[in-house]
Chain A
Amino acid sequence: DSGVTQTPKHLITATGQRVTLRCSPRSGDLSVYWYQQSLDQGLQFLIQYYNGEERAKGNILERFSAQQFPDLHSELNLSSLELGDSALYFCASSVAGTSLETQYFGPGTRLLVL
């Protein structure tokens, strides 16, 4: 158990809908990261937050947005869902969000868009 929690574990929804994925980092970690794992694109970095502020952005679609709240939990919002958004979405966390640290991954949220 990495100490990173993600909810829900599974999510099934329809095209065009909007969903919110939630992540709580390890105790003491200030930075969270979101990754998407799909059959087509493999594991891709989406976005990083540090202490409530966006720090790095990867291949995140405009239909997707994220935020980190004062209690340090993070939410990834996916809207206008398409079939291709079906994937496993991971959250990871680290203490200060620098490359000197290891990122610890949560168990993931498996999203299925029908």
Chain B
Amino acid sequence: AQTVTQSQPEMSVQEAETVTLSCTYDTSENNYYLFWYKQPPSRQMILVIRQEAYKQQNATENRFSVNFQKAAKSFSLKISDSQLGDTAMYFCAFMKHIASGSRLTFGEGTQLTVNP
């Protein structure tokens, strides 16, 4: 079974600064997908970024980028130029590559607070 670990329950950052959230995972699969989801106080789950394991290039979405280290099974999220609206719980998630059926396995979450 796959497991996802987020070792930082809480983090804080000053507005406009950069912060990195950590995630490690354990799997015997070779083909899989990794995600970061954001859950603001509204509790809505919002996709932030997605990474395919077969791609060596790290995914980037505007101010959000990942550092994917396949051998180390590490998948960190970097948020640049942090904004107050980035305050949320961030979940790292894993999905293995299968032809039919899919499920997300989530980490415990990191509560990020952006301070003015």
Contacts and interface: CB of A to CB of B under 8 A. Distances in A.
The A interface is mostly helix, strand or loop, or mixed, namely strand
Chain B, interface residues (CB within 8 Å), range: 20 to 34
A99 B102 contact: yes
B105 A45 contact: yes
Nearest to A88: B43
Interface in B66-116: 91, 95-109
B47 interface: yes
Contacts of A45: 103-105
Interface in A12-37: 33, 35
A43 B42 CA distance: 16
Nearest to B47: A102
B11 interface: no
Contact of B97 (A35, A99, A104): A99
Contact of A107 (B37, B44, B47, B104): B44
A102 B104 CA distance: 10
A55 B45 contact: no
Interface of A: 2, 33, 35, 42-45, 48, 50, 55-56, 58, 88, 90, 92, 94, 97-105, 107-108, 110
Interface of B: 32-33, 35, 37, 42-47, 50, 91, 95-109
18 contacts: A33-B102, A42-B108, A43-B109, A44-B106, A45-B105, A48-B101, A50-B100, A50-B101, A55-B100, A56-B102, A98-B98, A99-B96, A99-B97, A102-B35, A102-B50, A103-B47, A105-B44, A108-B45
